[in-house]
Amino acid sequence: MSWQAVARKEFRDAIRSRWLHGSTLFFALFLGGAAALFFGVLIGPEGRQVSNLFGFFANLGVFSFSFPGLLALVLGFIALSTSYGSITGERETGSIKLLLSLPNSRLDAVVGKFLGRSAVVVAALLVGFLLAFVVLVATGTQLQLGSFVPQVALTALLGMAFVSIGLGISALAGSNREATLATMGLYLVFAVLWGSISEGIPKLINYAAGEVGAGGVSELTRVKLGVFLKYLNPLKAYETLAAELYYGAARARLVSATFGEQAALGPVLQDSVPVYFSGEFLLLVLLAWIGVPIVVGYWAFERADL
């Protein structure tokens, strides 16, 4: 197996790119800067704890905002940008012929690219978190390491998921242009449209059921199905898992829920969190977003003529 050789090449190549330097600087300013603003300026010395920022959730019932959610949006964008051209780009310039004339299998190429580009994204991310950590220590903030450290790991997983998605697109696309358009479209779906689609599907089912004279599903089932679909979005799965680290499972399911969802789910969550809403399930969703796109991408790339 020579995926190590490919991964090393990818890393050495990407680490010299201005894009990476830019995103590293961005993470440093974003995470370090936000920490400095919150703990250095906004919050008094007594109340300073990590959850003020890294577990910041505000929910207006119809609209919600969270710091982990914002971080996820930015990271998703940067990770996709790092990987969506990784195969189409090499095919268009022809450097893929150098890569594959060496004894690297196409699996080596896909795995090596995934690991190399993931390492680049995670490295940029870690620089940001490290700087934030320095600020936390310097401002005497209560560290909550039991939540903060797993959050860093979760964030790295989210970055890898989007590297994988970008790589999958790159393997499936016929050209850089196609890959760019598909990436932009998919990002729009993840970042903006997923919620509406998730709420829309159960409503559509009920509407269709009503049309044919069937009863449709109950209000509670409809909400559950909607939320379940929302959790399939890696951004949402990450945001919810991050909330769980600070506030526990039940509260985390409601931090960004709409009023309707809160009303319907509140009583259910009081008893216990159903398996299909559990932290384990959400983690599985996140891991699936890492695994499935590269498997699909490899499947397509393996069959393609260069």
Which of 37, 42, 58, 102 contacts other proteins by CB under 8 A?
Answer: 102
How is residue 295 annotated by DSSP? H
Long-range contacts of 181-187 (CB under 8 A, 24+ apart): 182/84, 183/80, 183/81, 183/84, 186/80, 187/76, 187/77, 187/80
97 binds other proteins (CB under 8 A): yes
23 lies in the site for other proteins, by CB under 8 A = no
Ordered alpha helix ranges (H), 18-104: 18-27, 33-35, 51-54, 67-83, 88-93, 95-101
Strand partners, 59: 64
Q: Based on the shown chain and the rule CB under 8 A, indicate whether residue 93 belongs to the binding site for other proteins.
A: yes
Binding mask 52-91 for other proteins (x = CB under 8 A): ----------------------------------------
To other proteins, the closest distance from the beta carbon of 209 in angstroms equals 45
Helix (H) or strand (E) holding 58: strand 57-59
> What residue spans of the chain are helical by DSSP H?
3-14, 18-27, 33-35, 51-54, 67-83, 88-93, 95-101, 106-138, 145-172, 176-188, 194-211, 219-231, 234-247, 249-252, 259-271, 279-303
**One-letter amino acid for residue 36 of the chain:** A
Nearer to other proteins, 109 or 131 (CB): 109
Q: Residue count at the site for other proteins (CB under 8 A)?
A: 23
Q: Tell me the window of 99-107, 129-137, 244-252, 281-289 that interacts with other proteins (CB under 8 A).
A: 99-107
104 binds other proteins (CB under 8 A): yes
How would you class 70 by CB atoms within 10 Å of its CB: exposed for 0-12, middle for 13-18, buried for 19 or more? middle
Taking contact as CB under 8 A, which single stretch among the options 12-20, 30-38, 164-172, 255-263 is the one that binds other proteins? 12-20
Q: Does 196 bind other proteins (CB under 8 A)?
A: no
- Give 4 or 272: the residue with its C-beta nearer to other proteins: 4
Q: Quick one: 217 or 300, whose CB is closer to other proteins?
A: 300
* Residue 218 sits in the site that holds other proteins (CB under 8 A): no
Q: Quick check: 175 binds other proteins (CB under 8 A)?
A: no
Q: Give the interface with other proteins as residue ranges (CB under 8 A).
A: 2, 4-6, 8-9, 12-13, 16-17, 93-95, 97-98, 100-105, 305-306
